[in-house]
């Protein structure tokens, strides 16, 4: 049983429902300031993973190629369209405002495909240890509460693709594990860490970056790490 994945998805579902219900009952100063705190927490988590880099050339090349692919297929725009649909379906508080769409896209990237989440699912698949995802659940729950207080119940819907994506990673872990040498794993963690830093920069409004468009780099770094010794 992927306990960590289930608890992580439940943390987003419950947090999204609580925040959507509480809404304006949460003080405005908390709703405006906590995302910045969460952003710096994500940046800190990302930095801890970047230090695992084994081949900086591979990591940088993966990010460049991943960003190019993400831009060409306009991944962030596709997620924005999904966000608009989700907000309309659940009657988001801000309808399809720019803020609501940005927060929902950010939530999908942070909850579903962050480096910590993917590695946590791999780790649970490799060893059965859910500790990484359990730690991530605390941050995800808090983020879901605050985001849903601004956007509405649509944040809770992110738990569905989250459990699907992380479960697929969990199932594939057995096939991937023979490929995950220390070099491949280190480069993978570094790219995941950089994507997490980008998410944190968005949350804390330090920079206007499209973290979603960098997602392909997470897969590309594994391929390049295997090809380039």
What pLDDT sits at residue 205? 76
Structural domains counted in the chain: 1
Contact 170, 1 (CB under 8 A): no
CA distance 2 to 71: 33
**pTM for this structure?**
0.79
Backbone angles phi, psi at 23, to 5 degrees: 50, -115
Range of the domain at 91: 3-227
Taking only the tens place, the pLDDT of each residue in 33-55 is 777 887 888 888 888 888 888 88
Please list, in sequence order, all residues whose beta carbon lies within 8 angstroms of the beta carbon of residue 11, skipping any fewer than 6 positions away: 137, 138, 140, 141, 144
Taking only the tens place, the pLDDT of each residue in 61-87 is 999 999 999 889 888 778 877 777 777
What pLDDT sits at residue 128? 86
Q: What is the 3-state secondary structure (H, E, C) of 119-145?
A: HHHHHHHHHCCCHHHHHHHHHHHHHHH
Q: What is the DSSP letter of 96?
A: T
CA distance 67 to 217: 7
């Amino acid at each position: 049983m992927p306990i960590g994945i289930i608890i992580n998805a439940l943390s987003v579902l419950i947090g999204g429902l609580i925040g959507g219900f509480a809404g304006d009952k949460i003080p405005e100063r908390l709703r405006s300031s906590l995302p910045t705190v969460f952003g710096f927490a994500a940046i800190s988590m990302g930095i801890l993973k970047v230090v695992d880099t084994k081949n900086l050339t591979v990591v940088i090349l993966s990010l460049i190629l991943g960003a190019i692919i993400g831009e060409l297929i306009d991944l962030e725009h596709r997620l924005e369209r999904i966000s608009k649909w989700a907000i309309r379906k659940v009657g988001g508080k801000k309808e399809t405002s720019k803020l609501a769409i940005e927060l929902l896209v950010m939530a999908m990237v942070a909850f579903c495909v962050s480096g910590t989440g993917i590695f946590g699912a791999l780790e649970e698949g490799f060893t059965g240890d859910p500790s990484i995802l359990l730690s991530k659940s605390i941050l995800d729950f808090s983020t879901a509460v605050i985001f849903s207080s601004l956007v509405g119940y649509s944040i809770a819907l992110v738990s569905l693709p989250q459990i699907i994506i992380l479960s697929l990673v969990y199932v594939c872990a057995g096939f991937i594990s023979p490929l995950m040498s220390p070099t491949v794993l280190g480069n993978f963690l570094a790219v995941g860490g950089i994507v997490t830093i980008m998410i944190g920069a968005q949350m804390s409004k330090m920079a206007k970056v499209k973290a979603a468009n960098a997602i392909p780099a997470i897969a590309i770094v594994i391929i390049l790490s295997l090809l380039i010794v």
